Amino acid sequence: MNYATQMEAARKGIITKEMEAVAYKEQVSPDVLRELIGQGRVVIPANKNHTSLDPCGIGQGLKTKINVNLGVSKDCCDIEAELEKVRWAIKLQADAIMDLSCYGKTGEFRRRLVEISPAAIGTVPIYDAVGFYERELKNISAREFLGVVEKHARDGVDFMTIHAGVNREAVARLKKNPRLTNIVSRGGSLLFAWMAMNDQENPFYEFYDDLLDLCRHYDVTISLGDACRPGSLRDAVDALQIQELINMGELTRRAWERDVQVMIEGPGHMALNEIVTNMLLEKKLCHGAPFYVLGPLVTDIAPGYDHITSAIGGALAAAHGADFLCYVTPAEHLRLPTLDDMKEGIIASRIAAHAADIAKGVPGARKWDDEMSDARRRLDWTRMFELALDPEKARLYRSESMPENHDSCTMCGKMCAVRTMNKIMAGENPL
């Protein structure tokens, strides 16, 4: 193999087996895909050590992808329960799974996750640092943070959230421009605290070139984390968010110079009318790199329903440039999600992603809807269930309330508009 990363291969004119697989699934030309990867507008997160991977592409012209967060915490440290979530996430067609484990020795769960998952695996190494070194955050050295990154890379992680954009300049910006909710990113707050306690620069910013060496060696895609994302509508599109975005654009160019693939992470909480502008800003300031958004959540008042507030924002964001949606569950802001919460979050995100793909004209997206409409016209319930985003739930609802006439439902019965039109068009009496 005479290339280190997918980006280097693309720039050398090589179409890798991962590119071939993605091109086939996306119904795009392998040469077009290769060109987009070489430009940094598409990434294929594919660590050389993730042997069970079924590669997916994220970026311009491709289907909107969704990510599922899971992992163990001190209060909920059940590895088997989280692995069951992994199996369900794969069954429900999540494109990526992020292990956000933040308690104890997380390596066992991470390695088992990589072993069984055909989906791309992401992590946030700083979450693991305290448990990995069994030391207080303040006493971890700058270089030791890179040691955790290397461990995750060796374990086969395909992409990592690295909060390299929250440097001393950004910290100063926050102090001059107070926020309602400060920093709500877990990784961002840890780095902010470490920088304050040690009076040092962000280690991922200071030693960014060394980080790039590690990522290049294993072909890990950097997901530049938005440490300064808004955690409330009030804080959206403020000086701190824009400052970090400018920093991430500069870091993106530096990564591309080393043939390292990059994604950009984005907001967060944001009013509906600000989303389109933010998508344009990110793509402009970060040179067209794929954009990975959490939500955006379009209101702050719906705990228990944030999978809905997120899907509303996610659909609009993806329709105007976001490429990758991080799912949000009904448990957001409240607790570690249960298996049922995870299912709700995945379905909501997949609806948002598909709605955006229709708007973007992604190949094949509209065809699915046309097939469903045709099955409805024919009152072909079996085919409707086959095409449903969640066939299990659709079948359950139908079985719980069966109509007198099999070619209708209990909402309208014989007065079903579709049934009426079918019979009239066939010259029959509908009633």
* Residue 365 annotated as lining a ligand binding site: no
| Residue in the structure block whose two tokens are 């899907």 | 311
Q: Say if residue 119 carries a ligand binding annotation.
A: no
307 is in an annotated binding site: no
Report whether 98 belongs to an annotated binding site. yes
Cα–Cα nearest to 418, from 385, 375, 384: 375
356, HSE (Cβ side, Cα atoms, 13 Å): 29
Pairing, β 159-162 against β 221-224: parallel
Q: Does residue 213 contact residue 149 with C-beta atoms inside 8 Å? A: no
CA atoms within 13 A on the CB side of 366: 6
Tell whether 320 is in a known binding site.
no
- Whether 333 has a binding-site annotation, put simply, is yes
Strands (E), 232-290: 262-266
Computed on alpha carbons and rounded to an integer, the radius of gyration of the chain in Å comes to 23
Query: Per the annotation, does 127 bind a ligand?
Result: yes
Q: What are phi and psi of 338, to 5 degrees?
A: -80, 175
406 among the known binding-site residues?
Answer: no
Is 258 annotated as belonging to a binding site? no
State how far the Cα of 327 lies from the Cα of 268, in Å rounded to an integer. 12
Strand partners, 121: 97
How is residue 186 written in tokens?
A: 């877990």
Q: With contact defined as beta carbons under 8 Å apart, do 245 and 291 qualify? A: no
Is residue 286 annotated as involved in ligand binding? no
The reply to whether 228 sits in an annotated binding site is yes
Q: Which of 25, 69, 83, 19 is nearest to 46 (CA)?
A: 19
Determine whether the annotation assigns residue 173 to a binding site: no
Please check whether residue 166 is in contact with residue 192, taking contact to mean a CB–CB distance below 8 angstroms. Answer: yes
Known binder of ligand: residue 102?
no
Query: Read out DSSP for 168-230?
Result: HHHHHHHHHS--SS----HHHHHHHHHHHHHT---HHHHTHHHHHHHHHHHTPEEEE--TT--
Residue 118's CB: how many other CB atoms inside 10 A?
11
Token readout for 260 is: 């390292």
Alpha-carbon gap, residue 393 to 403, rounded angstroms: 18
Q: Tell me which residue has tokens 């969704």.
A: 66
Tell me whether residue 69 is annotated as binding. yes
231 marked ligand binding residue: no
Helix (H) or strand (E) segment spanning residue 298: none
CB of 57 closer than 8 Å to CB of 33? yes
Question: Residue 35 pairs with which residues in a beta bridge?
Answer: none
| 217 marked among binding-site residues | no
Q: Evaluate whether 308 touches 348 at the Cβ level (below 8 Å).
A: yes
Is 397 known to sit in a ligand binding site? Answer: no
Residue 416 counted as an annotated binding residue: yes
- Binding-site annotation: residue ranges for [4Fe-4S] cluster: 409, 412, 416
- Binding-site annotation: residue ranges for substrate: 69, 98, 127, 163, 185-187, 226-229, 265, 292
- Binding-site annotation: residue ranges: 69, 98, 127, 163, 185-187, 226-229, 265, 269, 292, 333, 409, 412, 416
- Binding-site annotation: residue ranges for Zn(2+): 269, 333
